[in-house]
Structure 1
Amino acid sequence: MITTLFRTLGREHAGPLRRTLALMVGCAIAEGLSYAFLVPVLRILFGDTPSDIGPWLIGFGASVAVYAVLRYVSDLSGFRVGTSLLRGVYHRLGDQLVRLPLGWYRADRVGELSATASRGVLQSMSVIAHMLAPFVSACLTPLTIVVVITAYDLRMGLAAAAAIPVVTAVQLWSARATAATDAERAARDHEATARVVEYLQAQPVLRAGGRTAERFRLLDDSLDGIRRASRRSTIAAVPGMVATTVTVQTAFTALLALGTYLAIGGDLAVPDMLALVVLAGCCAEPLLSLSEIGGKLRAARGELTRLDAFLSTPPLPEPARPMRPQGHDIEFDSVVFRRDGRAVIDGLSLAVPQGRRFAVVGPSGAGKSTLLQLLARFHDVDAGSVRIGGVDVRDIATDVLMSQIAVVFQDVYLFEGTLEENVRLGRPDATDDEVRAAGAAAGLDEVIERLPDGWSSRVGEGGAMLSGGERQRVSIARALLKDAPIVLLDETTSALDPENEAVVRAGLERLTAGRTVLMVAHRLHTVRDADRIVFLDRGRIVEQGTHDELVRRGGRYAQFWEMSVGVASPVRAS
């Protein structure tokens, strides 16, 4: 676990953690050594000259004072390092989020990432501030006391040492017995987090269906799953706790019996026997606390492992020798892309000349949006290559690649802030006049006139203060402001009303003029004017051509066209 902790924190935070760990080790050893004064103190106290106890009491007090100072410094260092590392881990988390390929962000990772970024990070870092010191003390203080006992009496020391492997074996057995239930509990927890997010997002649908008072079954099931997993986890932990308690108590009883036997036989003075038994008793409390600390550490280790796995997720590799594209044409060359073992794109080849508009249509799941994602390097292909201006996208630096592409998605996300700030995301260094011009070209003027604060109006989280069509206009304004030579459009008008669709289409016409365009659409009337239409099915190009050519051909596109317009095509009617 310590190794995982160092790896998660990164090299820059390893030094403070090592120093804190060294302080904790020194504190635990000092605590054990302070008990060494109990033997001479009790020996003199029960001997013939109890008045000679003064120097030993002073020594005992001094050793306790040294331990107290070390404990204070150790705990303070733990809290400070824990707080500092918490901030550092959040920075690493943020840095990793912007490095990961966009294809990594699947919908099923929302709850997992939310739980990891909140409770997972806090629980992982609480190891340093709250759990590491007690754990180190529970392990090293009894070992130090055993060494002290051995120094005073070899027989009693060996008997105490014999209990160490037994207690260790019990702890390992307990950890293995609860590992599966702990993992299930964590998985159920993450699932419930995702269901809570889903429940919040589903409120409009639930309310529209008149189910506001009805409990959300999926969320209830996940919460019941947490309850059952928690119960199984608790039940699984009980045998380990009982076994630890019984083992420690048995070892102490055996040590007491051995001491009594030696004292009765005259091989060990009674004061020495009492002192060594007291020392053995000092081992019991930290050993008994191992079960509780171990359970907390196992839970934290699970979160730490998940955090480490996230931080260790490799980003898409940057090219060692970046190349700049020579032009803005697009080429897919024998591209193969698999997801979950299934070929989403299967041997596809397609060339989009510079300045031309190509449309990709086809049934759901055909791989249309995946084509755009591969071009924007959300993912890397499994075989073949995707090229811009004759250069493989894998050989183009990420910032250069992103500068070449403007993407307009169907689902537009706006950040909490003003309308102007959201448009400026397209090009932060743009002048006010350029921002206004992009907004006008995207049809934002009439929206701005309606808003009380115009360009300074706040849009709310996710753009909640704007309609879907208005958010789409902001997205187009961003793309216009970016002024990239390649434009990718993904179902940009499929969810808009006729009025908004007309405005958005006018904005898209301005956006795509003179640029290389690859668009995905379900509404076939939006692609009639494309220079070329590509019909995709199961990751392969079934047919391609202009709208008129494909309709005359009477193939798959013609069938889709018939369904979209609601009448038979001339070819089909003949």
Structure 2
Amino acid sequence: MVQSMKRLFGYASEYRGKMMLAVLLAMGSVAAGIFPYFAIQQFVVEMISPEAAESSLLLLALAIGGALCLKSLLFGMSTTESHQAAFRILRTIRLELAGKLTRLPLGYVLDRDSGALKKVMENDVEELERFLAHNIPETISSAVVPLAVLLYLFFVDWRLTLSFLVCIPFALFFYWLMMRDSRTKMANYHRSVETMNAVVVEYIDGMKEIKAFNQTEDSFARFREGINSYRRYVLEWYQSAWPLMSAYFVLIQATTVSVLPAGLYFLAKGSLQLPEFVLFLLISLSFAAPLVKLAEFADGIILIVNAEQNVHAMLAETELKRAAGSPSLAGHDIVFDKVSFAYDQEKVLHNLSFTAPAARRTAIIGPSGSGKSTIAKLICRFWDVKEGQITIGGVDIRDLPTQVLMDLVSFVFQDTFLFNISLGDNIRIGKPEATDEEVREAAQKARCHEFIMKTSQGYDTPAGDGGSHLSGGERQRICIARAILKNAPILILDEATASIDPDSEEQIQEALGVLAQGKTLIVIAHRIRTVMDFEQIIVLGNGEIDAGGTHGELLQSSSVYRSIFAAYAETENWRISTEGGMF
């Protein structure tokens, strides 16, 4: 917790001036809120005095009203200063987290529920706002001013001051009981929130499949259980804490109960004057308010510390090694040299060695789960290999700066993703400085110009969330246009035409054929007929290379390739029966 608090104050140090001003204004606000009780004491004394002057009473009344107005004004100014600093800090933290994700292995993102990542970047970061904008100025002021008042009262009458404090130890005891095991409970709370976020995101993202396969009840049951599980845990925790919390709040505000009898006793004995007794009674009515606020902040500090630790954990994750300089490449050939790779403990590639020659076409095929897509993603360094090395132009990709590597490679994923910006801007991601004419030319080559022009706003039409306004094939063609516009010397297609209808596929294959000229092309093949004329076809089986060569050579040497080709040939011979069957 201590380290978390140091880091939190470290975040605030960037805006030290604003935070100090917010603290001073908050202290002034609390002091202005307590001042009226001293003024009311004097007002009561004046009232009962036979020599009371109306002008004095009027001035006291005005002073009380002015103090209350000043309290509100200072509090508003304090929160304005602290919030301005807090929101700037939150912006910085979110940008740091977003930048961090781009420097982490892709596996870090894939291994975590999107709900958990959303919680860190949204909920946890937002939780820090409470500390930065409220806890720092208000906690300090809520502690310092009451202590100063308590010190003053001690010099007025130490006996009544001690009676002031009689109930506080008991209140703190109940508060301690309430906060026992709070760390464990808070960790369980955060897990339940992450689970709830995950099922909510899954339910919304999978709505199309849920409806298509009539799984509404089952999926809603899982969604409902995730919500109810969170609800049950929170209610159980609150129900166990409510009696203790109630006892704390009753006792912490019971100062009048202890001051009144003691004050009457001392008054009757003649050892206490009426004005002092009135002062203690009035202060007892307001003294608990800052202490209650302190308890509320202390209760929330566990949430804040957990949130900060989650943010810090992400920022402290080990990044991919960042290379310095810009090594010169001897061409654009890609070489896998004894590469093995595992997702956690599950090894998916075993001692792979092959070369994808520069300016040549290489296809990688094999059964599902054989590691085809992993090879493509390793080239883009979405993960770092632990055994062996991958080189481009004779240089280990781990020695290439990220920007250099990304400039070398264009990648079209099997699973397409479009941002909720215009179609033209989605294509322009491949080359941010591209002109409208260049974007249009890339779209024409990818055979998506026609359907773009049929949309309501043409190239200015929003793609929708994740490209939801387009079909799967249309989204894929936009992504291909993006790669065409980038025009990198290495092109990797991870089953890029798997979602395209046959007519569009033929057109796109022609466009890709033109695009691939003079480039190192690696295709993760889904349809074998699209790569049968490639100069090199690599056949994978269980993460190992079964064979490599041309189509004709593999038919002779690889049983795995023959089985894949036989399955393809069988589907090519299918025809629709007039009786409604397929054979």
TM-score, normalisation: structure 2: 0.81
- Residue 484 of structure 1: how far off its partner (Å): 0.4
**Equivalent-residue separation in structure 2 for 1:470 and 1:202 (angstroms):** 20
**Equivalent-residue separation in structure 1 for 2:544 and 2:54 (angstroms):** 92
CA 1:165 to 1:521, structure 2 compared with 1: closer, same or farther past 3 Å?
farther
Deviations 1:370-429 (A, max 9, x none): 332232122333454433223233332222221111001112223344433332222233
**Equivalent-residue separation in structure 1 for 2:388 and 2:57 (angstroms):** 81
**Equivalent-residue separation in structure 2 for 1:40 and 1:408 (angstroms):** 80
Structure 1 counterpart of 2:21: 19
CA 1:349 to 1:476, structure 2 compared with 1: closer, same or farther past 3 Å?
same
Deviates more, 1:230-239 or 1:271-280: 271-280
**Equivalent-residue separation in structure 1 for 2:309 and 2:54 (angstroms):** 52
Aligned to 1:413, what secondary structure does the other structure show?
Answer: coil
**Contact 1:37–1:56 under 8 Å retained in 2:** no
Aligned to 1:105, what secondary structure does the other structure show?
Answer: helix
Aligned to 1:216, what secondary structure does the other structure show?
Answer: helix
CA 1:467 to 1:87, structure 2 compared with 1: closer, same or farther past 3 Å?
same
Structure 1 counterpart of 2:74: 73
Structure 1 counterpart of 2:518: 514
**Contact 1:178–1:237 under 8 Å retained in 2:** no
Deviates more, 1:16-25 or 1:176-185: 176-185
Structure 2 counterpart of 1:110: 114
Deviations 1:245-267 (A, max 9, x none): 35425666445555455445554
**Equivalent-residue separation in structure 2 for 1:347 and 1:240 (angstroms):** 62
CA 1:40 to 1:454, structure 2 compared with 1: closer, same or farther past 3 Å?
closer
**Equivalent-residue separation in structure 2 for 1:109 and 1:510 (angstroms):** 40
Residues 280-429 of structure 1: matches in 2 within 5 Å? 280-295=284-299, 298-299=302-303, 302-310=306-314, 313=317, 315-429=319-433
Deviates more, 1:73-82 or 1:533-542: 533-542
Deviates more, 1:264-273 or 1:422-431: 264-273
Whether 2:30 is the aligned partner of 1:28: answer yes
**Contact 1:127–1:300 under 8 Å retained in 2:** yes
Residues 84-483 of structure 1: matches in 2 within 5 Å? 85-86=86-87, 89-90=90-91, 92-94=93-95, 96-101=97-102, 103=106, 104-106=108-110, 108-129=112-133, 135-158=139-162, 160=164, 167-168=171-172, 170-210=174-214, 216-248=220-252, 253-263=257-267, 265-269=269-273, 271-295=275-299, 298-299=302-303, 302-310=306-314, 313=317, 315-448=319-452, 450-451=454-455, 454-483=458-487
Aligned to 2:522, what secondary structure does the other structure show?
Answer: strand
Which letter does structure 2 place at the counterpart of 1:394? Answer: R
Which letter does structure 2 place at the counterpart of 1:21? Answer: V
**Equivalent-residue separation in structure 1 for 2:354 and 2:167 (angstroms):** 72
Deviates more, 1:253-262 or 1:521-530: 253-262
Which letter does structure 2 place at the counterpart of 1:412? Answer: T
Which letter does structure 1 place at the counterpart of 2:248? Answer: T
**Contact 1:29–1:144 under 8 Å retained in 2:** no
**Equivalent-residue separation in structure 1 for 2:267 and 2:203 (angstroms):** 70
Paired residue for 1:490, among 480, 487, 494? 494
**Equivalent-residue separation in structure 1 for 2:133 and 2:237 (angstroms):** 25
Deviations 1:223-254 (A, max 9, x none): 21222123123213314312313542566644
Aligned to 2:323, what secondary structure does the other structure show?
Answer: coil
Deviations 1:15-74 (A, max 9, x none): 4234323432454356557756677776x5699777499879968975985675365234
- Residue 100 of structure 1: how far off its partner (Å): 1.8
Structure 1 counterpart of 2:578: none
**Equivalent-residue separation in structure 2 for 1:314 and 1:50 (angstroms):** 78
CA 1:459 to 1:37, structure 2 compared with 1: closer, same or farther past 3 Å?
closer
Query: Unaligned stretches of 5+ in structure 1?
Result: 568-574
**Contact 2:445–2:508 under 8 Å retained in 1:** no
**Equivalent-residue separation in structure 2 for 1:22 and 1:341 (angstroms):** 55
**Equivalent-residue separation in structure 1 for 2:71 and 2:250 (angstroms):** 32
**Equivalent-residue separation in structure 1 for 2:188 and 2:347 (angstroms):** 31
Deviations 1:259-287 (A, max 9, x none): 45544555444543453344334322333
TM-score, normalisation: structure 1: 0.82
**Equivalent-residue separation in structure 2 for 1:423 and 1:537 (angstroms):** 35
**Contact 2:175–2:244 under 8 Å retained in 1:** yes
Deviates more, 1:465-474 or 1:269-278: 269-278
- Percent identity (aligned): 30
**Contact 2:335–2:391 under 8 Å retained in 1:** yes
Deviations 1:436-476 (A, max 9, x none): 43333322354356556654555444333433222222222
CA 1:233 to 1:542, structure 2 compared with 1: closer, same or farther past 3 Å?
farther
Deviations 1:485-512 (A, max 9, x none): 1111112122333223222322332232
**Contact 1:416–1:463 under 8 Å retained in 2:** yes
Query: Unaligned stretches of 5+ in structure 2?
Result: 572-583
